[in-house]
Amino acid sequence: MKIYRVGGAVRDKLLNYPSDENDWVVVGATPQKMIDLGFVPVGSDFPVFIKPDTGEEYALARTERKSGHGYQGFTFHAAEDVSLEEDLVRRDLTINAMAEDPDGSLIDPYGGQRDLNDKLLRHVSDAFTEDPLRVLRVARFAARYHHLGFTIAPETLALMSSITASGELDYLVAERVWKETERALCERSPDIYIETLRQCGALKALFPEVDCLFGVAQRADYHPEIDTGIHILMALQQSVKLSDSSAVRFSVLVHDLGKGITPEHILPSHSGHEARGVALVDSLCDRLKAPNNIRQLALAVTEYHLLCHKAMQLEPEIIVNLLKGIGALKSAAKLEDFILCCMADARGRTGFEQRDYPPADYLRAALSLVMDVSIADLVKSGIEGAEIGRQLNLRRIACIAELKQTYSAS
């Protein structure tokens, strides 16, 4: 029985890149031997074990055979006679098909170290096409290592296109699509994930609402880059500078979906795209089974981002309603995330990348004043029942009116 460190930990060690992965392959063992050694079985499809003192995963070396559709359409064979090389050849990319033995020596049967040096994402074998999830994984690795100069090998991109054309992406379960997408959004270059999926046709297959934004014109005075899809990529780049939150980055990705269904006769104007986009974002979140906190922020940004941009010109009552609408009266953190999304939108335009964003401080000041209005003071003054709510709203509006005067005077 031999144990090898494999995959991401080996890859990132060679790259001197931060990594929290630590996966292990066990050669020459049986499930019973692992249990006898104190490992806890957790795999339902194939033998995977947890080492209790570290919480790390140890998988028996295995081979696999395509037996159905999608990510789960495989029959696995794990036995004492399965070699390390047989296990590694089933992996997606050569840079993920390396192992390290207990003394630290590298085992690299498929040229992973060479491809690391060449900054190339290249598939290991033709078995790559059997797992449609690999289209998303390769796009995620492209987003992860783009800043280091990595590119996808043309032949691998061609295989990704063939997987898309085969219809296999339709069999991916929502949870897997969301997990890969959320991880990709948290990488250094999430825009590259979107662009890579678009290159191989997967964006149209999985995220048609985003794909159709490319080629949609906008007014050049607001968007010098003109193309809505290009704006989305630029806004994603800006979101990376502002936040590492997947909720913020996803909300930036989808905030303009309504522009994809703007009536042709009003183009390049997109009047009303905020309201049109709400149902599209809601439907996309349903399809992806996105977490509720992410859905809530994405819907708020989609519906209210133009109000945020115009905040300093809005009537006080609209500002109070805006703060209510995004949930800021219940959580100041919701306002911060909302502002970051709107700031990324505002700066995700050619020539606008370094611009100040005055609405941010204005809305923060507005929320602070609104939250200082005390319900207890209203009750002490003798106000009762429904009148409490009405007076509370009026006092909040009055606070914003004073704030607006202050900003106008300055």
The per-residue pLDDT for range 339-348, each reduced to its tens digit, is 999 999 999 9
Give the tokens for residue 178. 């969301």
H or E stretch at 306: helix 292-309
What pLDDT does 381 receive? Answer: 79
Mean pLDDT of the chain: 92
Q: What is the DSSP string of 368-405?
A: HHHHHS-HHHHHHTT--THHHHHHHHHHHHHHHHHHHH
| Domain end call among 79, 110, 141 | 110
Q: Convert the pLDDT of each residue in 229-254 to its tens digit.
A: 999 999 999 999 999 999 999 999 99
**In the chain, % of residues over pLDDT 70:** 95
Residue 67: predicted pLDDT = 47
In a domain, 325, yes or no: no
Bridge partners, residue 93, by sequence: 123
Domain boundary among 110, 144, 160: 110
Strand runs (DSSP E) across 67-138, as ranges? Answer: 74-78, 99-100, 106-107, 120-121
Is residue 203 a part of any domain in this protein?
Answer: no
Asked if residue 10 belongs to a domain, the reply is yes
Low-confidence winner among 28-42, 101-115, 369-383 (lowest mean pLDDT): 369-383
Q: 271 - beta bridge partners?
A: none
Both tokens of 25, joined, read 């392959």
Look at 66-80, 171-185, 270-284 and tell me which has the smallest mean pLDDT.
66-80
Amino acid (1-letter code) at residue 275: A
Q: Write out pLDDT tens, residues 259-308.
A: 999 999 999 999 999 999 999 999 999 999 999 999 999 999 999 999 99
Q: How far apart are CA 217 and CA 120, in angstroms?
A: 34
Handedness of CA 140, 144, 146, 149 (dihedral sign): negative
Q: Higher model confidence: residue 197 or residue 19?
A: 197
Whether 53 maps to a domain, the answer reads yes
- CB atoms under 10 Å from CB of 53, counted, come to 7
Q: What is the pLDDT of residue 386?
A: 80
> For residue 287, what are the CA distances in angstroms to 180, 207, 282, 290, 336?
14, 10, 9, 8, 27
Sign of CA dihedral 337, 343, 345, 347: negative
SS3 58: strand
Q: Can you list the pairs that 32-36 forms with residues at least 24 positions away whose Cβ atoms lie under 8 Å?
A: 33/1, 34/58, 34/60
Q: Give domain status of residue 40, yes or no.
A: yes
Q: Bridge-partner residues for 152, per DSSP? A: 121
DSSP 8-state assignment for residue 40: E
Which residue's entry shows tokens 């250094």?
A: 188
pLDDT digits (tens, 9 = 90+) for 362-377: 999 999 999 998 877 7
Would you place residue 213 in the very low, low, confident or very high pLDDT band (cuts 50, 70, 90)? very high
Q: In the predicted model, is pLDDT for residue 196 greater than 90?
A: yes
The domain that holds 102 is classified in CATH as 3.30.460.10
Residue with the bigger pLDDT between 65 and 361: it is: 361
How many domains does one find in the chain? 2
Task: Give the chain's length.
Answer: 410
Last residue of a domain, one of 110, 131, 165: 110
Is residue 99 domain-resident? Answer: yes
**Are the CB atoms for 77 and 65 separated by under 8 Å?**
yes
Give per-residue pLDDT as tens, 136-168: 999 999 999 999 999 999 999 999 999 999 999
Among 39-43, 116-120, 178-182, 212-216, whose mean pLDDT is lowest?
39-43
What pLDDT, on a 0 to 100 scale, did the predictor assign at position 62?
Answer: 82
At 225, is the pLDDT very low, low, confident or very high (cuts 50, 70, 90)? very high
In a domain, 348, yes or no: no
Q: Which domain holds residue 398?
A: 370-409
Of the candidates 210, 207, 132, the residue with the CA atom closest to the CA atom of residue 176: 132
Q: What is the DSSP letter of 265?
A: G
Q: Is residue 32 part of a domain?
A: yes
